[in-house]
A and B are shown apart, each in its own frame.
Chain A
Amino acid sequence: MEIFLQLLANGVILGSEYALLGISWGIIFNVTGTFHFAHAIVYTLGAYVAIFCFATLGLPFTVSCLVAVVLAAVVGMLIEILFYEPMRRRSATSMTILITSLGILIVVESLIPIFFGAASLSMGGVETQPISLGPVFFTNIHLAKVITTWALVGGLMAFLHFTRSGKALRAVGSNPQMAAVVGLNIRRLYLLAFAIGSAMVAIGGILQAMDTGAYYTMGTQAVIIAAMAVLLGGMGSFFGSALGGLFIGMAMSLSIWGLPSEWQLTIGFGTLVVVIALRPRGFLGGKVVKSEV
């Protein structure tokens, strides 16, 4: 029982981390249809900029995080403006855009060690405080991850359902042609999706840097998890992306209760395969698409 409770707590922490990755990538994918691999760079950038501002420039922690998040949003929008949007205008296929995105990821990832060095960086000065609730152990950073993720998920869902811009984003994601016909500014909404997704993933990157430090390849695995979360949660469903992330984290943690721990990644991907085979649109994909139409 003791181990189950610890694994459950681990699952919630890991699942929350993945949920934030999922929803940040999901808002871009669901609205624009772009398989945005370069999201990994924005994630890494968020962590590196926050560390640079906090540890090197000595700015206050909150200001450092704010600078990182704003810069990440700007970089996300720049990627859309400089690469994806011109390609879409020239009728590039989704595959071409995906390859371009992968190219951006590889090029920028290779440049990071030149400017920041190859070694891991940390948010020196941000102390990790252990917390124990009976037999369950975690830290203040883990708690921050869980609270921040679900606050952001809740905030985003409220924005999407109760604001004019949010409803417009959902409409574009549901049917871009129809949205254009009714006069929505698709280009502006695409930029908004990139800004929100990039800002959110930067927060994920900062939280990760506080937990395990930042390193220049940290985004690659994160973006794969994010895409898995979206596929599992259901393409087209914003909340499904977060749910998919939580599910992967829980599955990876709980399933090794009786299995050797090196099976964790296999279980994560295995879960995706099984769920997609049984429900090709993921957990919430079908339902949301129907309601949007």
Chain B
Amino acid sequence: MKRRLAPVLCLLAMLVFAWQPAPAHAQKKDDIVIGMLLAMSGQGISYGKWMSQGALLAAEEINKAGGIDGRMIRVEIGDHKSGDAKAGASEMLRLVNVYHVPAVLTSFSAPTLAAHAIAVERGVVLINGGGWSPKLINKKYLWNTRLTGDATAKAILQVAWDDGARKICMIYRNDPSGIDTAVAARAFWKEKGGQVLCEQKYDLEATNFSAQMAKIRLSRPDALVTFAYSKTLGIIIKQARDFGVSVPMYGIEFLPENVTVAGKAIEGYKFAVDRFDVNSTVPETQKFVNAYRAKYHEDPEFYGANYYEDMYLVADCMKALAKEGKPITGANIDAKIREIRSFPSVYGGKMTLNLDGTVKKPVAVFVVRDGKPHLLKHTQ
């Protein structure tokens, strides 16, 4: 009897796990599904959380305000496992084949590049608000609302140069975000007359950088520049100090959890990022920050801000298409972005997209003091 019951119980258990209650605004046939390709697992899961929160908040607001000509927006999230290109391509196929999405908000360079080939083939527009590889520009159907790595790298290298550094070492991830940014950084530094003494790369899941740090220390640079991100950045900064690299450190990323991991070692670290200020008095910023705080009980990172405004960007284009009676397709959204190009921004004012797929946004340089980033300067 027990043996006969077992398969039935297993089936029941699977049904219980598979069953999900219908959402408040259950999917209707004419809902518009917008895809997202995010880091929902792995080392960069924090990014996935912030990005999805920003986009979901925007979708909720848009739907409350009547949606796209009465049609509701539904968000479907694919997981690229914190930068795995294969996972990115596979999830992109799922979004395209199962949900027929006209637009996908992507993140991380490698999965965005992997998804891009599918996007071109299937006519889906990609909006990247997180990946920073310079290879993401000049691509059909791909728009970047985050500053590319070469822009922020040049900004921080200028700071290093002004601080008196002439000989640098670089450490970065062995993927497009790291390699392509390093190419631009190397060229910029050499053009200024500086010297790149050594370059160290690391793999996706690396947590031990002792060998890299030994090589960096013995190269005796004036400064260490890193294009690392996620929790890895904190580990790199900590291990640099642990293994005797005492020179100033510069980068193009910062997360609060980096302070948790690096502790005192992160003091004095300077970085350049998209300038988003939660304390800004600009009404658009305050409206977003207050709504985000009310919903998630935490301050938004600039990643949340990017995906919030990315969702609005897509919605604005879809609304314009609906008004003109045109079908909502990836190609039409892409054409509409080309036409409008200037969108309201929670950074304040307008966000202008360039025809090469890059964005014009303010860059800010911060220094970490007492575990908190302090604004040093900002540029456009």
B373 at the interface (CB under 8 A from A): no
> Chain A residues with Cβ under 8 A from B228's Cβ?
none
In contact, A137 and B203 (Cβ under 8 angstroms)? no
Of the four ranges (under 10, 10 to 19, 20 to 34, 35 or more), the interface on chain A belongs to 35 or more
> Chain B residues with Cβ under 8 A from A120's Cβ?
231, 234, 257, 260-261
Q: How far is the CA of A218 from the CA of B201 in the complex (A)?
A: 20
Of the four ranges (under 10, 10 to 19, 20 to 34, 35 or more), the interface on chain B belongs to 35 or more
> Chain B residues with Cβ under 8 A from A113's Cβ?
45
- In B38-53, which residues have CB < 8 Å from any A CB? 41-43, 45-46, 49
Interface string of A157-176 (1 = CB under 8 A from B): 00000000000000000000
A149 at the interface (CB under 8 A from B): no
Interface string of B317-335 (1 = CB under 8 A from A): 0000000000000000000
> Chain A residues with Cβ under 8 A from B205's Cβ?
221
- In A5-58, which residues have CB < 8 Å from any B CB? 6-7, 10, 13-14
In contact, A138 and B215 (Cβ under 8 angstroms)? no
Q: How far apart are B108's CB and chain A's nearest CB, in angstroms?
A: 16
- In A102-116, which residues have CB < 8 Å from any B CB? 110, 113
> Chain B residues with Cβ under 8 A from A252's Cβ?
211
Q: How far is the CA of A13 from the CA of B209 in the complex (A)?
A: 12
In contact, B238 and A261 (Cβ under 8 angstroms)? no
Interface string of B247-280 (1 = CB under 8 A from A): 0000000011100110101000000000000000
Q: How far is the CA of A13 from the CA of B208 in the complex (A)?
A: 11
Which candidate, A81-89, A124-132, A188-196, A276-284, is the interface stretch facing chain B? A124-132
Residue in contact with A213 in the complex, picked from B45, B174, B210, B261, CB distance below 8 Å: B261
In contact, A118 and B244 (Cβ under 8 angstroms)? no
Q: How far apart are A89's CB and chain B's nearest CB, in angstroms?
A: 14
A256 at the interface (CB under 8 A from B): yes
In contact, B263 and A118 (Cβ under 8 angstroms)? no
In contact, A3 and B207 (Cβ under 8 angstroms)? no
B241 at the interface (CB under 8 A from A): yes
Of A3, A120, A128, A217, most buried by chain B (CB within 10 Å of CB) is A120
B14 at the interface (CB under 8 A from A): no
B155 at the interface (CB under 8 A from A): no
Interface string of A244-267 (1 = CB under 8 A from B): 000000001100100011101100
B235 at the interface (CB under 8 A from A): yes
> Chain B residues with Cβ under 8 A from A96's Cβ?
none
A64 at the interface (CB under 8 A from B): no
> Chain A residues with Cβ under 8 A from B8's Cβ?
none
Q: How far is the CA of A261 from the CA of B174 in the complex (A)?
A: 10
Given A138-B242, A212-B235, A262-B203, check contact A10 B260 (CB 8 Å).
Answer: no
Q: How far is the CA of A128 from the CA of B200 in the complex (A)?
A: 24
Q: How far is the CA of A253 from the CA of B42 in the complex (A)?
A: 25
> Chain B residues with Cβ under 8 A from A217's Cβ?
41-43
In contact, B200 and A261 (Cβ under 8 angstroms)? yes
Interface string of B5-44 (1 = CB under 8 A from A): 0000000000000000000000000000000000001110
Residue in contact with B210 in the complex, picked from A2, A124, A215, A253, CB distance below 8 Å: A253
A272 at the interface (CB under 8 A from B): no
> Chain A residues with Cβ under 8 A from B261's Cβ?
120, 122, 212-213
Q: How far apart are B136's CB and chain A's nearest CB, in angstroms?
A: 22
In contact, A212 and B238 (Cβ under 8 angstroms)? yes
B218 at the interface (CB under 8 A from A): yes
Q: How far apart are B191's CB and chain A's nearest CB, in angstroms?
A: 25
- In A199-226, which residues have CB < 8 Å from any B CB? 212-213, 215-218, 221
In contact, A14 and B210 (Cβ under 8 angstroms)? yes
In contact, A260 and B234 (Cβ under 8 angstroms)? no
Given A261-B201, A262-B202, check contact A130 B242 (CB 8 Å).
Answer: yes
Interface string of A133-166 (1 = CB under 8 A from B): 0000111011000000000000000000000000
A121 at the interface (CB under 8 A from B): yes
> Chain B residues with Cβ under 8 A from A7's Cβ?
211, 214
A182 at the interface (CB under 8 A from B): no
> Chain B residues with Cβ under 8 A from A128's Cβ?
238, 241-242, 263, 265
> Chain A residues with Cβ under 8 A from B211's Cβ?
7, 10, 252-253, 256, 261, 264
Q: How far is the CA of A14 from the CA of B244 in the complex (A)?
A: 17
In contact, A261 and B242 (Cβ under 8 angstroms)? no
In contact, B212 and A261 (Cβ under 8 angstroms)? yes
Smallest Cβ-Cβ distance to A209: which chain B residue: B261
Of B200, B202, B263, most buried by chain A (CB within 10 Å of CB) is B263
Smallest Cβ-Cβ distance to A130: which chain B residue: B242
Of A10, A110, A141, most buried by chain B (CB within 10 Å of CB) is A10
B161 at the interface (CB under 8 A from A): no
B188 at the interface (CB under 8 A from A): no
In contact, B42 and A262 (Cβ under 8 angstroms)? no
> Chain B residues with Cβ under 8 A from A181's Cβ?
none
> Chain A residues with Cβ under 8 A from B244's Cβ?
130, 132, 137
Q: How far is the CA of A137 from the CA of B242 in the complex (A)?
A: 7
Q: How far is the CA of A256 from the CA of B218 in the complex (A)?
A: 14
In contact, B42 and A10 (Cβ under 8 angstroms)? no
Given contacts A10-B211, A213-B234, A264-B203, 14 further A-B contacts (CB under 8 A): A2-B218, A7-B211, A13-B210, A120-B231, A122-B260, A128-B242, A137-B217, A137-B243, A139-B242, A212-B261, A213-B257, A218-B207, A260-B201, A265-B203
A/B interface sample: 14 pairs, CB < 8 A: A14-B210, A118-B49, A119-B255, A122-B260, A122-B263, A130-B242, A137-B244, A216-B45, A217-B41, A221-B205, A256-B211, A260-B201, A261-B202, A262-B202
Question: Which 6 A-B residue pairings sit nearest by Cβ, starting from the closest?
Answer: A137-B244, A213-B261, A10-B210, A262-B201, A119-B257, A118-B45
